[in-house]
A and B are shown apart, each in its own frame.
Chain A
Amino acid sequence: MPLLSTRLNSPQLAVTVAERSPGYWQNVLHRLSRDKVAMAAAAVIVILLLLAVLGAWITPADPYKSSMLSRLKPIGTPNFPLGTDELGRDMLSRLMVGARLSLFMGITPVICAFFCGSIIGITAGYAGGAINSVIMRTIDVFYAFPSVLLAIALSGALGAGITNSLISLTVVFIPPIARIAESVTTQIRTRDFVEAARASGASAFTIVRVHVLGNVLGPIFVYATSLIAVAMILASGLSFLGLGVKPPEPEWGLMLNTLRTAIYTQPWVAALPGAMIFITSIAFNLLSDGLRSAMEIKQ
C-alpha cells in the first residue's frame, strides 16, 4: 500500500497515526490530495466558484453597459481583452459575472435532486414490498425518457425562466439518484448490523439515520458530483434554446445563443462562452473521477 509507506516515511504523520487511526473520510481526502489531476480540477473549480461569488465586484468593466460604437470587437482590442459582444458589452466582464448564474443553474438542480432522490430511494429501499414497487415503477417511467428530451419537454411545457429550468432539471436527475439510493439501501437493510439494531429496539427512523445514511450517502454523493457536469451542459443548453435564463443576464448558454449570429464576423469571440462551459464541465468530471477512485467505488 503506497498510503501506508508514506505514512511511515513521514514522522509527522506517523505521530498522528499513533494518536488516532484515521477515519474513512480522512483516508479519502488523503488519497484525493495525492491525485494531481483531481487537484488541478479542484483548483479550477475553486477559481470558478470565486468568480461566481466575487465576479460582480472585480470585473474590469460594467457587464451590462452596451455601446453601439464598440460592437463585436475582436479578442485583444485595447480595453476589451476578450472583445465585445453583439451589443458592445465587455466579454471578459460578462464571462466572469456569467460564472454566477451558470454555476447556480448547474449545481442547484443536482443538490435538490440529491435530497429528493435520496429520500425517495431510501424510503423505497427500506420499506420494500409494495411501497418499493410503486415508487420504483414510477421512477422507471421517468427513466424511460432520454434526459435531454425530458428536460426540454418539461421546461418547454412549463415555459421559459430560471425557476422552471431548475424544476425540470431537478426532475430529470431524481430518478438516477433514487435508483442508486434504493439499490444500496436494499443491500444494507438485510445486513446483520441492521438486524441487530432492530432487535435491540431501534426505530426505523433511527436505523435509517445511523446505519443506512452513513453507508448510502457516499455512493450517492460521488454519483451526484458526476451529474454536475451533465447539469451544467443541460442547464446552459436550456438557456441556449431560449428556455432558461432571460436576457440581459449574463449566463454562458444564453451568451452563446445571442452570439450565434456573430459566428461569421467574430467567430472566436462567439465561441468563448462555450469554452467556459467546456472547462467547467471537464473540471467537474475529472474531480468526480478522482473522488470515485479515492473512495474506491467501482462503477
Chain B
Amino acid sequence: MIEFLIRRVIYAMPIMLGVALVCFALVHLAPGDPLVSILPPDASQELQQKLRALYGFDRSYPEQFVSWIARALQGDLGVSIATSRPVLDEVLKAVGNTLRLAALATLIGFILGSLFGFVAGYFQNSWVDKLASLTAVLGVSVPHYWLGMVMVIVFSSQLMWLPASGAGPSGSDLWQWNWEHIQHMVLPALTMSVIPMGIISRTVRALVADILAQEFVMGLRAKGLTDLGILAHVVKNAAPTALAVMGLQLGYLLGGSILIETVFAWPGTGFLLNSAIFQRDLPLLQGTILVLAMFFVVLNMLVDMVQTLLDPRIARG
C-alpha cells in the first residue's frame, strides 16, 4: 500500500514538470512582444532593453525556464505587468473565492447527483430512472454560461430574489460569514452544480446497476438480508468510485469556472484569467494557469490515493 502511494507521487512529478513547461511555453506562444502592454509606443531602445532584462526576457528559453521554475518553487510567480503586484498574491486571493464556489457546487452536485443516480440504478427502467437519465443528459448538455444568464433573468431580473453579480455587497471580494455573502453565492453555485450533478448521477446509476447484478447481492438476498441491509452493501461498494468522480469534478470546476465567473462577475481565478488575457498580462496569465493546473494534478493524485485507501483492491490490481 505504502509502495503504491509512493509510486503515485513519483508518477506525478514528471507530469508537474510537463505542466510547468506548457505554462511557460504559453507566454512564448503569444504573438508579439510580451512587454507591449506596458511599453509606451515611443519607448527608447535603452528603456526597452532595461525592461526586458528586468523581466528576464533577454535570456535564452532554457535559462528563463529554469529560473522561472526555481522562483516558482519559492512562491515567486513574478509581478503582474498590469497592476505591478506580485502574481501569487493576486492568484491566491482569487483561488480562495473560486475554491469556495467550486466546493459548494460540487457538494450540491454530489448530493443531488448520487441521490438521482442511486434511485435510478435501484429502480432501473422505472419512470424515476427515465427522469434521472433525462436530467443527466440535460446536465451535461447545457451551456452553463447560458444557464447562468437564465438564472439571472429568472431569479434576479424577474423575481428579484437574489443578487445578479459579485461576491458580496458593493463589490466586496473577500468572504465574510453573513447573509448577503451567502445570497451572492447561491446563483453561481447552483449554475455550476449542474455539470457535476449530471456526471455523478450517470456514474452512480451505472455503478449501482453493476453492483446489483453481482453474485454477492444474490447471496445476501438468499441469506435473508432485508432490502435496507442490501442497500448498505451497495452504498459501501459504490462509494469509492463515486467519491473519486466527485474529487475530479471539483478539479474540473476549479479550472473551468471562468465562463460562469464571467457571467456572475465573481472575483475568482476565472475573472483573473479573463482580465489577464484581455490586458495581455502574461505573467499573471502564466501564474494563474500554473496554480490551477497544479491544483488539478495534486487533486488527481489525492483522489487516486483516497480511492486506494478506501478500496485496497485497486493497489493489488
Contact = CB atoms under 8 A, between A and B. Distances in A.
Interface size class of B (residues with CB under 8 A): 35 or more
Interface of B is mostly: helix
B116 interface: no
Among A156, A273, A275, chain B packs the most CB atoms within 10 A around the CB of: A156
A196 interface: no
B157 A149 contact: no
B146 A138 contact: no
A153 B285 contact: yes
B256 A148 contact: yes
A281 B146 CA distance: 13
A229 interface: yes
Contacts, number: 137
Contacts of B252: 146-148
B149 A260 contact: yes
Interface residues of A, number: 46
A152 B138 contact: no
B152 interface: yes
B153 A267 contact: yes
B146 A277 contact: yes
A144 B294 CA distance: 8
Interface stretch (A60-68, A91-99, A203-211, A238-246): A238-246
A236 B158 CA distance: 26
Given A142-B22, A144-B15, A144-B297, A241 B149 contact: no
Nearest to A277: B143
Given A241-B258, A241-B262, A267-B153, A149 B293 contact: yes
13 contacts: A137-B15, A145-B22, A146-B251, A146-B293, A152-B273, A157-B30, A158-B31, A241-B274, A241-B277, A256-B146, A277-B143, A282-B138, A286-B137
Interface string B114-144: 0000000000000000000000011011111
Shortest beta-carbon contacts, A-B, top 3:
A274-B146, A146-B255, A141-B18
Contact of B149 (A140, A154, A263): A263
A10 interface: no
Nearest to A283: B141
Interface string B247-272: 00001101110110011000000000
